[in-house]
Amino acid sequence: MKRILIVNVNWLGDTIFATPFIRAIKENAPDSYVAILTHSRCEEVLEGNPYIDEIITYDAKGRHSHLMGRLLLVSELKAKKFDTAFILRKSLSRTMLLFLSKIPERIGYNNRKSGFLLTKKILAPKKDLHRVEYFIGLARGVGLEPKSVNYEFFVSESDVTKASKILKEAGLKDKEDFIALNPGGNWDLKRWPAGNFARLGDEIVNRFNAKVVLTGAKKDIELCRNISGMMKNKPFLLCGKTSLKTLGAVFQKAKKVISSDSGPMHIAVGVGAPVIALFGPTSSRITGPYGSGTYKVLEKNVGCEIPCYKLSCKDNKCMSVVTVEEVMEALA
């Protein structure tokens, strides 16, 4: 049995984008043992993935934050006797781990930082690709063609049961239709204005007679309360009440999910929910929904360079130019 290690990327969204690559590796070598080395923040995203036999956590801020901890990890990896390793990110420290673990075949994109430690260097794409295609390129570089480029997020029956309980405790009746609004984002400029979400929520209730659920992490609780405070028809607040898995199960139950470019938006696409994605400073061509799911992307050209990472931007016009009326039209 071939033993394969995949070194994962560091962020939630990118981890979801990597799932077609993981699936392609397993499908092309179904009898292989596939393990993944991942940052602790991404572990939950990968749990329950049927194409992964083992998740090995890289605890960058804890037990692997110092030299001794990394040497212990090298010892652990060496003992697992992997034949092949794929590295999904340009990282000297992670590639060095593979070298020191004496994994004979180390495959990744060629780069100045760590390419010298690879045994098979895949030519990096010359143009910006969607992140799904970027990761899939590594599989294609060794002759493995994916059967599908759809990315996936897996939830269990237990997650579905917990999600039903959370919705009931929030006040929704069993099997009651609702539309989920996810107003958060990992940086402010990716967020659609809170006032727009409030107006949208009221329009949804008035026009479609549907319930509105606000979702988000604990850091989004104040944002969700502010939106709720501006609404005439009070929404059901789930901010801070779900794990990533139960959030995915909530999205599975929703009639629609409306979100900016964020990890939760990709979770919604990954579980097969119908999604309306709101884009501004980031490029939907690179980090937008991907595959054959049911989704619409709303974005406008306002003359700015995209993607844009000017966190000092004052007007955030690339997001505010998308109107409530346009989102309602996309919902119809």
Predicted confidence (pLDDT) at residue 62 exceeds the cutoff of 80:
no
Question: Which CATH code of 2.160.20.60, 2.40.50.100, 3.40.50.300, 3.40.50.2000 fits the domain covering 157-331?
Answer: 3.40.50.2000
Q: What average pLDDT does the structure give for the chain?
A: 93
What does the pLDDT average to over 222-249? 96
Q: Which of the four pLDDT bands, split at 50, 70 and 90, describes residue 22?
A: very high
pLDDT digits (tens, 9 = 90+) for 146-165: 999 999 999 999 999 999 99
The residues of the chain that CATH labels 3.40.50.2000 are 3-141, 157-331
Predicted confidence (pLDDT) at residue 137 exceeds the cutoff of 80:
yes
Of the candidate ranges 69-73, 225-229, 230-234, the one whose mean pLDDT is the lowest: 69-73
Percent of the chain with pLDDT over 90: 80
Predicted confidence (pLDDT) at residue 70 exceeds the cutoff of 90:
no
What does the pLDDT average to over 186-209? 93
Of the candidate ranges 59-73, 84-98, 198-212, 295-309, the one whose mean pLDDT is the lowest: 59-73
Please tell me the CATH code under which domain 3-141 is placed: 3.40.50.2000
Residue 305 has a pLDDT of: 80
SS3 assignment for the chain: CCEEEEECCCCHHHHHHCHHHHHHHHHHCCCCEEEEEEEHHHHHHHCCCCCCCEEEEECCCCCCCCHHHHHHHHHHHHHCCCCEEEECCCCHHHHHHHHHCCCCEEEEECCCCCHHHCCEEECCCCCCCCHHHHHHHHHHHCCCCCCCCCCCCCCCHHHHHHHHHHHHHHCCCCCCCEEEEECCCCCHHHCCCHHHHHHHHHHHHHHHCCEEEECCCHHHHHHHHHHHHHCCCCCEECCCCCCHHHHHHHHHHCCEEEEECCHHHHHHHHCCCCEEEECCCCCHHHHCCCCCCCEEEECCCCCCCCCCCCCCCCCCHHHHCCCHHHHHHHHC
Q: Which of the four pLDDT bands, split at 50, 70 and 90, describes residue 316?
A: confident
